[in-house]
Amino acid sequence: MTPGNKTNVVHCKKFALVVPTLNEAENIVTVLDRAREALSQLPLPWEILVVDDDSKDGTQEIVRRCSETHPGIRLVQRLAQKGLAGAITYGWKHTDADILGVMDADLQHPPELLPELVNRVCQGSDIAIASRYLHAGSMEGWSLPRRLISRLSTLASKPVQRSGLRVRDPMSGFFVLRRECIEGIQFQSEGFKLLLEILAKGQIRSVAEIPFKFGTRSGGQSKANGMTAVYYFSLLCRLSRAAILGRGNRARPGANGSVAMVRAQEVVNEQPSSETDQRSHEHTDNSRQSD
């Protein structure tokens, strides 16, 4: 969709937001309504791709009805596949947008922040991250164990982050970036922490972090479980090994799992592959910042 000119966007042609879903029928209408309202502030074309991993609660039917009323919404289905990171990159492959984003469907990420994230990228940042760790009180309502786990996971990521480009919240699942920064790079399909892998392997030169208050899930169930930690530490091991060996584990453009664009379709059915508020600060490759 192409709304009116309300923000000063430079060097941007189109924005695509991926919203991964798995049994999010209770939240998806509210998420899409709020996201559409927020994106209407942008002066560039945009679309929302709901990438659904074969939900059984009617999520797909709800999104189809929304897409009939709002042409800026598309449903992309994955069959017999699971994995948040894989759903995100799969959605990115099915759009021709040059600016890409991701946001959860559980209302913990405020869609109202999307124009700010997109604007920061269009003004020159390679990636704009919604961060939970810039302002005190951003995670009110979290239990102490959950806070500790989150902090320890962030600390564990520091060795694999580039020293001149470390961010406060490399675990965030709410961010916007330029496609050119990740074109042709292969990412893991399992797990939840795609941003950390992008920061370690992507052609990222500048980062903007924007504070936000992490919301509480209003419906449905969290998809995090014991395997979340397994996938995360597996990712840390692979990124650490790549850093030691000095390799980025890059794939050919268009290889399975990479973010080469394929022709977009209204609904995509794919069988499993054989292979498995304001910006507080910015980082650049030339800066040396410690948290």
DSSP one-letter string for the chain: ------S---S---EEEEEEESS-TTTHHHHHHHHHHHHTT-SS-EEEEEEES--SSSHHHHHHHHHHH-TTEEEEE-SS---HHHHHHHHHHT---SEEEE--SSS-S-GGGHHHHHHHHHTT-SEEEEESSSSTTTTTT--HHHHHHHHHHHHHHGGGS-GGG--S-TT-S-EEEEGGGTTT-B--SSSS-HHHHHHHHS---EEEEEE-------SS-----HHHHHHHHHHHHHHHHHHHHT------TT-TTB-------SS---PPPS------EEEETT-----
Give the per-residue pLDDT at 198.
94
d(CA 107, CA 105): 6
Ranges of the chain whose pLDDT falls below 70: 1-10, 135-151, 156-157, 191, 216-229, 231-233, 235, 240-241, 243-291
Give the per-residue pLDDT at 288.
39
Q: Beta strand pairing status for 127-131 and 206-211?
A: parallel
Give the per-residue pLDDT at 144.
65
d(CA 274, CA 49): 25
Give the per-residue pLDDT at 281.
45
Give the per-residue pLDDT at 72.
96
pTM, entire model? 0.75
Give the per-residue pLDDT at 70.
96
Residue 14 and residue 45 in contact, taking contact as beta carbons nearer than 8 Å:
yes
Give the per-residue pLDDT at 279.
41
